[in-house]
Amino acid sequence: MKELLRDSRVRRLLVANTLGSIGSGITIFSVPWLLVHLPGGNEAFRWATIGTTLVLVVTTPYYGAWVDGHSRKTALLASELWGLTATLAMAAIGLASGGFGAPALMAVYFAGMLYYTLHFPAKFALVQQMFAPSQYRALTGLLEVQGQTALMIAGGIGGLLVETIPLWGILLFDASTYLVSFLLLRTLPYRATHLESSDRAAPPAGSAWSRIREGWTWLRDRPRLAVFFTCTLIPFVVVMSANYLFPIYVAQTLRAGAEYFAGGEITFALGAIAAGFFLPRLGGEDSAATSLPMTMLVFLTGLLVVILVPSPGAYLAAGVLLGFGNAGCRVARSALLLRLVPNAVMGRVGGFYQVLDRLLRTTLVLSLSLVDARGAPAGFALLTAVFLAAFAGLLATRSAASRATG
């Protein structure tokens, strides 16, 4: 990991990603907070989430195909340019109109979520092209630490700004982070030196739909590997779905104050940062597949603590376990994706799992709203059942990943 940090490309990538993540994180934090304080805001936020999911489910596969047909650096710069222009446009609209109603806030939320959709497939494909396979696990660990640190900073800045300045001012601040990120990435040396010539092929021919099918065909021809990557996605899906339950759990089950809700976010981030630092040091590059059952067991322990030990202290401890387990899975899963998926289809395969992530999250959140009357513990029991099914799937398909990396 120290050797990677000596690489100026890694340092630029980490700083640029941190700035972009802070900008987008502040937006994603501020908009829901402002929405739910408007009359009918809860309903508006639910429809904003559902509408955003539906649009991105349709458009993400086409964007993945576009990424695979163009320079990965160009695609990554395009994501930062979108963040910059969208936030400036929204800030100008808010400044001119004197504020943001529910429709404008929903548009800002959509713009922020679209940034994530544009950014991550391009970043993965760029990292895969620029670095050697032996560096993937350590690099994904660094990126996980960077991402969690950026979210902690974004939450702190967002919590401070949302109560003190109007949203258009927050958006101008966000735009400045996208601008600096864009300028840093523009200076990033871009050479695909670690791929076979067949993977440096020209942009794929044919219609957009035929190019999308190529990514799906790659997964269809490797069903056990496709199931493996789906199962290892579930901890992240569960965490994102649980964000709906955590405030209810703290307020109604624990009867604790906002400081414990914030404390849970902090302990989760600390656990994730610890996983990003320490797990890449355990074993070699081939240990990613074997480490996944351990990190998923840590995650399962966190879920069980939340259900079985309803106390503020246990909730904070569970945050560490959930953060460590989720981040550990993400680091290993990302390293395996980079090693096993050809760069020629990385954008489309990554796009497929982004679509699947959004569909699963939306389905789970809708299901959790149905069990809400029974309290947050019933919701966590549902999430635990989903996780256990994924854990069983991981154990059944792990050999496919081990053989592929061997």
The per-residue pLDDT for 202 is 44
- Residues 62-81 have pLDDT tens digits of 777 777 777 888 888 998 99
pLDDT mean over 28-44: 72
Token pair 């395969």 is found at: 349
Q: Does residue 180 carry a pLDDT above 90?
A: yes
Q: Report how far residue 128's alpha carbon sits from residue 72's, in angstroms, rounded to the nearest whole number.
A: 10
pTM score of the predicted model: 0.75
The residues, ordered by sequence, that sit 6+ positions from 180 with a Cβ below 8 Å of its Cβ are 16, 19
Q: Report how far residue 191's alpha carbon sits from residue 126's, in angstroms, rounded to the nearest whole number.
A: 10
| Pair of tokens at residue 72 | 């990965």
Q: Report how far residue 122's alpha carbon sits from residue 16's, in angstroms, rounded to the nearest whole number.
A: 14
Q: Which residue has the higher pLDDT, 73 or 39?
A: 73
Q: Does residue 182 carry a pLDDT above 90?
A: yes
pLDDT over 90 percentage in the chain: 23
pLDDT mean over 39-49: 71
Q: Does residue 103 carry a pLDDT above 80?
A: yes
* Domains of the chain, start order: 1-187 (1.20.1250.20), 220-406 (1.20.1250.20)
The per-residue pLDDT for 196 is 43
CB atoms within 10 A of CB 300: 18
What 3-state DSSP class applies to 338?
helix
Maximum mean pLDDT: which of 151-165, 313-327, 389-403: 313-327
Question: How high is the mean pLDDT of the chain?
Answer: 82
- Residues 242-300 have pLDDT tens digits of 877 887 788 778 888 767 776 887 888 889 888 888 877 765 555 677 788 999 999 99
- Residues 190-228 have pLDDT tens digits of 765 434 444 444 445 455 566 677 778 888 899 999 999
Q: What are phi and psi of 333, to 5 degrees?
A: -65, -45
